[in-house]
Structure 1
Amino acid sequence: MENLKKRSNLLRKIGNIIFTLVVILCIPFSIPRIMGYEIYAVKTGSMQPKYPQNCVIYVEEANVIDVDENDVITFKLGTDTNDVMTHRVVKIDQAKKAFITKGDANSGVDKEPVVFSRFIGKPVFMIPFLGVLRPLFSTIIGFVALAFLIVLVVALWISSDILYKRYKKEKMQQDEIEKKDTAGQTDKKKHKKFSLSVVVPLVLGIVLAIYAGGKLFLIYHDYGKSNQLYANLANQYAKKKRKVKKDEWYNKIDIDFKDLKKQNSDVVGWIYFENDDISYPILYSGDNKKYLRTALDKSDAIAGSIFLEEKNKTDFQDSHSLIYGHNMRNLSMFGKLKFYKREPNYYEGHKYFQIITEKKKYRYEIFAYEDVSERSFIYQVPFDKTDEFQQFIDKIRNKSYLKSDIEVTKDDKVVTLSTCSVEKQRFAVHAKRVDEK
């Protein structure tokens, strides 16, 4: 009989130990990811002693402009692979838009320069030896192993309860009524106390999981709601033509501004990428904060709206016009702009976009894009046709990831599309007007 109790306690303790170990192992591979860090295991000793083999590094997303010589960076090994490397920057080649890197333990620099588009971020801290466990959280076999451990824990707890009930039943049969009641009350209290120590954390965990799941549901529900709203607007007010001659760019889409403005009188235009990736109304209120988290129908929305800078003219006749849009995870709004810096061939198929107003249609060709700070010089508006504006254009081109032969002068009309990137950083795409109808 006492043997049953010992076996019950043993199984319960083993289950608790395994459960605790699983939770402890999950923390370094889950909490940092929620906080926005990318997690990688170091497989070689090229960065010893700073980052020894089999350690885990936590990489924070950063912009190229924040990288200096002697910084350690994490980058993709190629444009067609997900394999990454972490080495130190020994030189920055601005002409080629590339980093020259070297492993601290290596005798020479890496054979191939790292172009800016392959840059991922900077490692901010590391945990030694944890890399050997990384496959548990990144492979199918690892996930199966974790699932098996969780099932094993549940099985151990259930077995412990079964054995304890058998022990309790046999003890009640042996003892006299008075002793049975006393012993039963004592054991019952002990068991309840022990059970609470397991149940309370589990209940808290379930509550937190439900809360986090609810938050995620609300976020993605908001995404879906915004997507549906703008899809309906595009279907109702933006009429695209299927067959259009190549040089008749202006016939690809027509906007019904009269009815669209009945929905919201702040509509001043429509931005349309000719490959259909981006197609949204442009709003203007004279207040840059109004449409940050407000949709065209004036409902609250995480995605907000595409809107024109408060200092710009709504006819897009300023030398420099600024248009803002959120970098959404589901790639809506300006979420696809990031592909200009991430995908080497993306630009070739996405050079042109249109801005359509009630009176005119304008076509723009992209000539530059780069990461900038939230207080960058690019947010200056308006400009006159002066040498100062030419210097502004030249500065943009010098900092651009894209090196194009497109001529841009102070007489051109320039539009900048700005979207959020990492904290206190922005990604900007610049285009010049090349035609109008």
Structure 2
Amino acid sequence: MRKKKVLLTCLTVFFALLFCVSGGVLVKELIQRKIDSNNFDKVTELAGLNINSLDNSDVHMVTEGESVSGDEEQNHTRNIRILKSENEDCIGWIYIEGTRVNYPVMHTPDDPEKYLRRNFYGDYSVSGVPFMDGSHRLTDMHVILYGHNMRNDTMFADIVEYADHYYRDEHPFIEFETEEGCTVYEVFAVAVVDATDDWYFTNPADQPENYAEKIAYIQEKALYDTGIVPEYGQKLITLSTCYGNDDDARLIVVAVERK
């Protein structure tokens, strides 16, 4: 009887400690996420965007052929030069209307994953900051941007929704703005691939044949057909994030520069 009481006491203490530790970890994570959110608010203001107007659920989608007023265009312009003056690793801004994807993009060729767990200011961050593949340059025909699939639906969490073609139909365009201007891309392929898939090493050469071959490769892997076939000379952008419970699985959203 005494042994049972001792065992019960030990188990009670164990689970109490486990609860405290788990609770402490959860609280720490929530605090870190709040810090990350505040930091991105600061960066958003630095970019010249109005935080209070960024409720994407109320954003009007500009469809093909529809004109954009000067005021609307100005609201979608980020001051990349100011961002670069604050942190020279910043090369641009990624934005998908109607989603939470609205972040600066970093690029550090000598330390490709520098911002995997760092915020815009270089401090530790659970969320990190979206960043461009270290082997790529903005002038390349194809660039890849990476971002975390966060449980609080930030960073590239919305990207996984593109597995459903209805989501793609509602959010077909991706804006990537740099110092050179803002380029609009249209999503033409969504696929689930391995982290070492050949697509991550794809940079279409100057030859039309190679370009067409790469396009055919990703369309064959695509989860559904969008009916869009990129033509030689159009630049490509890929957004990549973790997917599912497989550590090596990635969901990629591939878009082509609009003509």
Same fold (TM over 0.5): yes
Match of 1:272 among 95, 98, 108: 95
Q: Deviations over 1:155-212 (max 9, x none)?
A: xxxxxxxxxxxxxxxxxxxxxxxxxxxxxxxxxxx6xx65433222101110011111
Q: Which residue of 2 aligns with 1:350?
A: 171
Whether the 8 Å contact between 1:319 and 1:382 is mirrored in structure 2 is yes
1:255 aligns to what SS in structure 2? coil
* Matched residue type, 1:433: E
Please, what is the CA RMSD of the aligned residues?
2.2
1:345 aligns to what SS in structure 2? helix
Q: Which residue of 2 aligns with 1:228?
A: 38
Q: 1:348 to 1:244 in 2, by over 3 A?
A: closer
Per-residue deviation at 1:243? Answer: 8.9
Q: Does 1:216 align with 2:30?
A: no
Q: Deviations over 1:390-411 (max 9, x none)?
A: 2111110111012012121232
Q: Does 1:416 align with 2:238?
A: yes
Tell me how far apart the structure 2 counterparts of residues 238 and 335 of structure 1 sit (CA, whole Å). 24
Q: Which residue of 2 aligns with 1:327?
A: 149
Per-residue deviation at 1:380? Answer: 1.3
Q: Which residue of 1 aligns with 2:56?
A: none
For structure 2, the 5+ residue unaligned runs are: 54-58
Q: Which residue of 2 aligns with 1:237?
A: 47
1:296 aligns to what SS in structure 2? coil
Per-residue deviation at 1:293? Answer: 0.9
Q: Does 1:290 align with 2:114?
A: yes
Per-residue deviation at 1:265? Answer: 1.2
Whether the 8 Å contact between 1:244 and 1:251 is mirrored in structure 2 is no
Tell me how far apart the structure 2 counterparts of residues 217 and 333 of structure 1 sit (CA, whole Å). 20
Q: 1:276 to 1:339 in 2, by over 3 A?
A: closer
1:262 aligns to what SS in structure 2? helix
Tell me how far apart the structure 1 counterparts of residues 240 and 258 of structure 2 sit (CA, whole Å). 20
Structure 1 residues 382-397: aligned runs within 5 Å: 382-386=203-207, 387-397=209-219
Q: Deviations over 1:198-251 (max 9, x none)?
A: 222101110011111111222222222212211332234242688997433754
2:166 aligns to what SS in structure 1? coil
Q: Deviations over 1:11-70 (max 9, x none)?
A: xxxxxxxxxxxxxxxxxxxxxxxxxxxxxxxxxxxxxxxxxxxxxxxxxxxxxxxxxxxx
Structure 1 residues 165-244: aligned runs within 5 Å: 195-239=5-49
Per-residue deviation at 1:376? Answer: 0.3
Tell me how far apart the structure 2 counterparts of residues 350 and 424 of structure 1 sit (CA, whole Å). 26
Tell me how far apart the structure 2 counterparts of residues 324 and 196 of structure 1 sit (CA, whole Å). 52
Q: Which residue of 2 aligns with 1:429?
A: 253
Tell me how far apart the structure 2 counterparts of residues 402 and 252 of structure 1 sit (CA, whole Å). 33
Q: 1:310 to 1:418 in 2, by over 3 A?
A: same
Q: Deviations over 1:284-335 (max 9, x none)?
A: 011222111111111111211100111111xx32111111111111111101
Per-residue deviation at 1:381? Answer: 4.1
Q: 1:276 to 1:427 in 2, by over 3 A?
A: closer
Q: 1:427 to 1:194 in 2, by over 3 A?
A: closer
Q: Which residue of 2 aligns with 1:379?
A: 200
Higher relative contact order (CA 8 A, sep 6+): 2
Moved more, 366-375 or 267-276: 267-276
Match of 2:139 among 317, 333, 336: 317
Percentage identity across paired residues of the two chains: 24
2:20 aligns to what SS in structure 1? helix
Tell me how far apart the structure 2 counterparts of residues 247 and 308 of structure 1 sit (CA, whole Å). 31
TM value normalised by structure 2: 0.85
Tell me how far apart the structure 2 counterparts of residues 218 and 423 of structure 1 sit (CA, whole Å). 24
Q: Which residue of 2 aligns with 1:369?
A: 190
Q: Deviations over 1:66-119 (max 9, x none)?
A: xxxxxxxxxxxxxxxxxxxxxxxxxxxxxxxxxxxxxxxxxxxxxxxxxxxxxx
Whether the 8 Å contact between 2:188 and 2:254 is mirrored in structure 1 is yes
Match of 2:126 among 302, 325, 329: 302
Q: 1:199 to 1:283 in 2, by over 3 A?
A: same
Q: Deviations over 1:368-393 (max 9, x none)?
A: 10100011011014331222222111
Per-residue deviation at 1:430? Answer: 0.1
Aligned length, in residue pairs: 242
Tell me how far apart the structure 1 counterparts of residues 95 and 48 of structure 2 sit (CA, whole Å). 10
For structure 1, the 5+ residue unaligned runs are: 1-8, 10-189
Match of 1:260 among 80, 83, 89: 83
* Matched residue type, 1:215: V
